[in-house]
Amino acid sequence: MRLFIADDSEVVRERLSALLAQLDNVEIVGNAGTVDQAIHEIRRLKPDLVVLDIRMPGGCGIDVLRSVKGDEPSPAVIMLTNYPYRQYEERCMDAGADFFFDKSVEFEFAIEVIKGLASAQIQKRE
pLDDT digits (tens, 9 = 90+) for 1-35: 999 999 999 999 999 999 898 888 999 999 999 99
pLDDT for the residue numbered 125: 56
Q: Does residue 8 sit in helix, strand or coil?
A: coil
Tell me how far apart the alpha carbons of residues 123 and 126 are, in angstroms, rounded to a whole number. Answer: 5
pLDDT for the residue numbered 24: 85
The count of domains in the chain is: 1
- CATH number, domain containing residue 21: 3.40.50.2300
Domain that holds residue 18: 2-125
Whole-prediction pTM:
0.93
Q: Given CA atoms 88, 89, 93, 96 in this order, what sign does their dihedral have?
A: positive
